[in-house]
């Protein structure tokens, strides 16, 4: 069956839009939770640390597919709230990303030398003030390269949301390939779209990074 | 009679089986400069860190302006804001400019307005002759400049006493002078200072008393001329001999 | 037999497939990765460009897309010449995942190559070793040890992403979970159980790899940092 190129491109791009939105929402959710977990694991008391570690390990140990299905099928069983497919996708990808982001931020936190923490405390700062004003600004800058890599991972894994019925790029490409019997054209275009998005995001980030760069803190990202 | 800013009584600290401080006692009055010398690892740094409780002592008492700050009831952060600390490795905040490094304590701990903090910070930087480096980051400054910023950071808080932990040990030799000059000028302005250092010249120049620290206690103490040129105890003599051949006169025999 | 027992029995039919797939892909990916890394680091110019291009292409696109290409796209294209062509989905997934894992492992291995100081290479050449001998006796033993932690991560990744095979009708654990769910309608419980099984396997694998890592320890080459808490990388 024939499909006009224009229609095909339009369909693929609408899929791309969904993938982008999904990836931004998920990475943001992952960021917020990730920082909390990273701080809990680096500075918390024993119980808090163990809970944070358990959270990280569980979400890194099970497949994203399983997380999706558990959120979609098992959760309503327990708390009697059902979520839409899109919400499930965002939350599922978001919490999984948070487990990886927390590790990234933890490394960043470790990379801030302890002497500065001593200095902050000897000025009279509280633990909270030290974390907020001295540790985090540097830890986050150190984390930028790894974090951008995580974004690329999140963007690629938006493809898995198709099991929840969300029609993003890969699923669209699939449909088009089946209909037109021209797999390589459409899979190829899908691949191209992913590559372009990642390259664009990284170069924008690089430009922003250059503006806020501080000599001696944090690394640049090579495209 | 000069007020007693700091009084240490029988300070004790152990790390595991290692008794690092075995009963240190001394006091410092307002405007005095006291210098602590002694072999490495004798516990001098630990003692300084006990004073602002970055390290918790195991025994003894510390009186700051008459108040026992070893008690749990004390708001240690408030106390710390009144005790300046200059570290061997500077410990500047790497993500902040020199000016911001000096300002941050004023804004967050002393809760000053941005305007007031900036004014104070500039004054402190002038004091250490670094006003033109205000907007540079630590990575762009030499070791000597970084340490002077660190001193400005401590000074700006208007502390009652400044503790110096081997402030020049991590510096290249040609940069040591600029830092010592700043410290000498502070001493002459009657800033109360407790300095741990190997720089005997500095001690001879401005110290009111030298404390020789050995095996966890103050082994010998006295006026700089007496201690350096006429030490009484064998260990003091041995240490000074090791530190320099130049100055030691009451030795060789 | 209770429903739970039935569910567990059906799920365990998928375990063997999952583990087979994981192992095959891990080993295959390592071999491919090694070749790519050698091409990229020591190869002649065209080999280097091909290697870089391949790696960037694979790492820049989703694994699922790649699996679809190998599992649907390629067979479809072949069928226009050989209409009878079919491929066992297991092998389609295996090939697709090997092609993917190879690109990632190539980067780990390349990192390991680079971390071995060139001084050692010089010394080996001065002794008269050929390029191949150097790779085999000097580079490989050190590179392997240095990159072992990253390989542990990759192994667990593969275990998790093997679940994508369900979308290509391979009856590994996830597929089994779905099919037994279709029969019993107890999706909620089933997916929790499957998640738990994956977690247990991941932890066991991590433990095993950690043990091996400790046995491989050479002072100065690897760090004894295997006491780090995050077992799952």
- Residue C232 has a pLDDT of 47
Q: Please, which residues have CB within 8 angstroms of residue A223's CB and are 6 or more apart in sequence?
A: A199, A202, A203, A206
- Quick check: B104 and A215 CB within 8 A? no
- Residue A22 has a pLDDT of 95
Greater pLDDT, B235 or C232: B235
Question: Which among B83, B109, B138 has the least Cβ separation from residue A216?
Answer: B138
State chain B's mean pLDDT as an integer.
90
Measured at the CA of C103, the angle between CA C102 and CA C107, to 5 degrees, comes to: 110
pTM (2 d.p.): 0.81
Q: Do chains A and C touch (3 or more CB pairs under 8 A)?
A: yes
Query: What is the DSSP secondary-structure string of B154-205?
Result: HHHT--SEEEEESTTTTS-HHHHHHHHHHHHHHHHTT--EEEE-S-HHHHHH
Q: Number of Cβ pairs closer than 8 Å across A and B?
A: 73
B109 contact residues in A (CB cutoff 8 A): 123-125, 129
On the question of pLDDT at C115 being above 80, the answer is no
Which is nearest to A219 in space by CA: A107, A94, A120, A133?
Answer: A107
Q: Say if C136 is an interface residue toward chain A (CB within 8 Å).
A: no
CA distance A168 to A157: 11
User: Running DSSP on this structure, what letter comes out for residue B18?
Assistant: E
On the question of pLDDT at C117 being above 50, the answer is yes
A62 contact residues in C (CB cutoff 8 A): 160, 195, 198-199, 202
Instruction: Label residue C94 by pLDDT band (50, 70, 90).
Output: very high
CA distances from B152 to A13, A123, B88, C233 (A): 57, 12, 15, 43
- Residue A210 has a pLDDT of 76
Orientation of helix A183-211 relative to helix A5-43, angle to 10°: 50
CA distance A65 to C170: 15
- Residue A35 has a pLDDT of 96
On the question of pLDDT at C62 being above 90, the answer is yes
C52 contact residues in A (CB cutoff 8 A): none
CA distance C74 to A192: 18
User: Running DSSP on this structure, what letter comes out for residue A72?
Assistant: I
CA distance A73 to A79: 11
Q: Please, which residues have CB within 8 angstroms of residue C150's CB and are 6 or more apart in sequence?
A: C108, C111, C233
- Residue A216 has a pLDDT of 64
- Residue C136 has a pLDDT of 78
- Residue C98 has a pLDDT of 97
Å between A122 CA and nearest CA of chain C: 30
Q: Please, which residues have CB within 8 angstroms of residue C182's CB and are 6 or more apart in sequence?
A: none
Residues of chain B with pLDDT under 50: 246-253
Provide the CA C46 distance to its chain's centre, in angstroms.
26
- Residue C225 has a pLDDT of 52
Residues of chain A with pLDDT under 50: 219-223
A187 contact residues in C (CB cutoff 8 A): 65, 68-69, 73
CA max distance for chain C: 71
Instruction: Label residue C124 by pLDDT band (50, 70, 90).
Output: confident
- Quick check: C62 and A60 CB within 8 A? no
User: Running DSSP on this structure, what letter comes out for residue B32?
Assistant: -
Which is nearest to C94 in space by CA: C27, C149, C151, C153?
Answer: C27
- Residue B253 has a pLDDT of 36
Query: Is the Cβ–Cβ distance between C113 and C37 less than 8 Å?
Result: yes
Which is nearest to A180 in space by CA: C61, C83, C76?
Answer: C76
- Quick check: B77 and A126 CB within 8 A? yes
- Residue A1 has a pLDDT of 64
Strand B33-37 with B209-214, pairing: parallel
Query: Is the Cβ–Cβ distance between C14 and C8 less than 8 Å?
Result: no
- Quick check: A129 and B150 CB within 8 A? no
On the question of pLDDT at C87 being above 90, the answer is no
A181 contact residues in C (CB cutoff 8 A): 76, 80
pLDDT tens by residue, C7-18: 888 888 899 999
Residue C43 tokens read as 């190869």
Q: Do chains B and C touch (3 or more CB pairs under 8 A)?
A: no
Q: Please, is B137 exposed, middle or buried when counting C-beta atoms within 10 Å of its C-beta (0-12, 13-18, 19+)?
A: buried
Q: Say if C157 is an interface residue toward chain A (CB within 8 Å).
A: no
Beta strands in B83-159 (DSSP E): 83-86
B217 in helix, strand or coil? strand
- Residue A218 has a pLDDT of 56
pLDDT tens by residue, B215-225: 899 999 999 99
Question: Which among A119, A126, A133 has the least Cβ separation from residue B87?
Answer: A119
Sign of CA dihedral C16, C21, C24, C25: negative
Q: Do chains B and A touch (3 or more CB pairs under 8 A)?
A: yes
CA distance B95 to A217: 6
For residue B141, the number of C-alpha atoms closer than 13 Å in the C-beta half-sphere is 27
Which is nearest to B101 in space by CA: B54, B159, B148, B142?
Answer: B148
Interface list for chain A against chain B, based on CB atoms closer than 8 Å: 113, 115-116, 118-126, 129, 133-134, 137-138, 141, 214-217
Interface list for chain B against chain A, based on CB atoms closer than 8 Å: 52, 54, 77-83, 85, 87, 89-95, 104-105, 108-109, 137-140, 150, 153, 157
Q: Taking the CB of residue B112, how many other CB atoms lie within 10 A of it?
A: 18
Q: Please, is B33 exposed, middle or buried when counting C-beta atoms within 10 Å of its C-beta (0-12, 13-18, 19+)?
A: buried
Which is nearest to C196 in space by CA: C23, C26, C7?
Answer: C7
Residue A115 tokens read as 């002497």
Å between A95 CA and nearest CA of chain B: 30
Element spanning A203, H or E? helix A183-211
End-to-end CA distance of chain A: 40
A1 in helix, strand or coil? coil
CA distances from B53 to A45, A123, A174, B19, C173 (A): 21, 12, 65, 17, 57
């Amino acid at each position: 069956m024939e499909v006009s190129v224009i229609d095909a491109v339009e369909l693929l791009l609408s899929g791309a839009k969904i993938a982008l939105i999904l990836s931004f929402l998920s990475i943001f959710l992952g960021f917020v939770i990730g920082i909390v977990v990273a701080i809990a694991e680096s500075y918390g008391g024993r119980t808090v640390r163990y809970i944070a570690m358990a959270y990280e390990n569980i979400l890194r140990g099970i497949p994203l597919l399983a997380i999706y299905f558990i959120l979609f099928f098992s959760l309503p069983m327990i708390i009697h709230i059902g979520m839409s497919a899109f919400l499930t996708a965002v939350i599922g990808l978001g919490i999984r990303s948070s487990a990886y982001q927390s590790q990234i931020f933890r490394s960043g936190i470790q990379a801030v030398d302890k002497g500065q923490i001593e200095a902050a405390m000897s000025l009279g700062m509280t633990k909270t003030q030290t974390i907020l004003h001295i540790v985090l600004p540097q830890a986050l800058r150190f984390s930028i390269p790894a974090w951008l890599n995580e974004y690329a991972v999140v963007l690629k894994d938006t493809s898995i949301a198709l099991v929840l019925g969300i029609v993003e790029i890969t699923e669209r490409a699939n449909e088009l390939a089946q209909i037109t019997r021209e797999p390589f054209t459409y899979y190829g275009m899908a691949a191209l779209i992913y590559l372009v998005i990642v390259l664009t995001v990284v170069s924008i980030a690089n430009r922003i990074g250059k503006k806020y760069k501080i000599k001696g803190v944090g690394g640049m990202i090579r495209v | 009679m000069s007020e007693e800013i700091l009084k240490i009584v029988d300070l004790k600290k152990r790390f595991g089986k290692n008794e690092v401080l075995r009963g240190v006692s001394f006091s410092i009055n307002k405007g005095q400069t006291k210098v602590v010398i002694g072999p490495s690892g004798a516990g001098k740094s630990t003692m300084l860190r006990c004073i602002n409780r970055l390290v918790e002592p195991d025994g003894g008492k510390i009186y700051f302006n008459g108040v026992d700050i070893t008690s749990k009831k004390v708001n240690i952060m408030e106390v710390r804001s009144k005790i300046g600390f200059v570290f061997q490795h500077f410990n500047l905040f790497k993500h902040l400019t020199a000016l911001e490094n000096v300002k941050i304590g004023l804004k967050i701990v002393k809760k000053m307005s941005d305007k007031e903090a900036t004014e104070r910070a500039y004054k402190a930087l002038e004091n250490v002759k670094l006003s033109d480096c205000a907007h540079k980051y630590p990575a762009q400054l030499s070791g000597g400049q970084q340490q002077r910023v660190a001193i400005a950071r401590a000074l700006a808080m208007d502390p009652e006493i400044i503790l110096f932990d081997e402030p020049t040990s991590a510096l290249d030799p040609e940069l040591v002078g600029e830092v010592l000059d700043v410290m000498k000028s502070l001493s002459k302005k009657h800033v109360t200072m407790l300095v741990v250092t190997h720089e005997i010249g500095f001690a001879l120049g401005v110290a009111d008393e030298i404390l020789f620290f050995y095996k966890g206690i103050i082994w010998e103490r006295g006026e700089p001329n007496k201690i350096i040129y006429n030490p009484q105890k064998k260990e003091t003599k041995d240490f000074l001999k090791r530190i320099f051949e130049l100055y030691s006169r009451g030795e060789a025999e | 037999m209770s429903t739970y027992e039935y569910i567990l029995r059906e799920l365990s039919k998928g375990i063997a497939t999952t583990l087979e797939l994981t192992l095959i892909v891990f080993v295959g990916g390592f071999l491919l990765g090694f070749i790519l890394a050698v091409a990229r680091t020591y190869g002649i110019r065209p080999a280097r460009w091909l290697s870089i291009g391949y790696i960037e292409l694979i790492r820049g696109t989703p694994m699922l897309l790649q699996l679809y290409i190998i599992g649907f796209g390629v067979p479809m294209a072949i069928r226009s010449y050989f209409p009878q062509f079919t491929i066992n989905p297991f092998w389609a997934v295996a090939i697709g995942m090997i092609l993917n894992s190879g690109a990632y492992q190539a980067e780990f291995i390349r990192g390991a190559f680079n971390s071995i100081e060139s001084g050692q290479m010089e010394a080996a050449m001065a002794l008269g070793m050929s390029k191949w001998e150097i790779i085999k006796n000097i580079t490989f033993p050190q590179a392997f040890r240095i990159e072992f932690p990253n390989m542990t991560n990759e192994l667990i990744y593969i275990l998790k992403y093997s679940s994508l095979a369900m979308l290509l009708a391979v009856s590994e654990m996830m597929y089994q979970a779905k099919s037994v769910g279709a029969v019993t309608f107890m999706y909620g419980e089933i997916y929790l159980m499957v998640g738990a099984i994956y977690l247990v396997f991941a932890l066991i694998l991590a433990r095993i790899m950690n043990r091996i890592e400790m046995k491989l320890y050479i002072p100065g080459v690897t760090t004894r940092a295997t006491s780090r808490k995050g077992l799952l990388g």
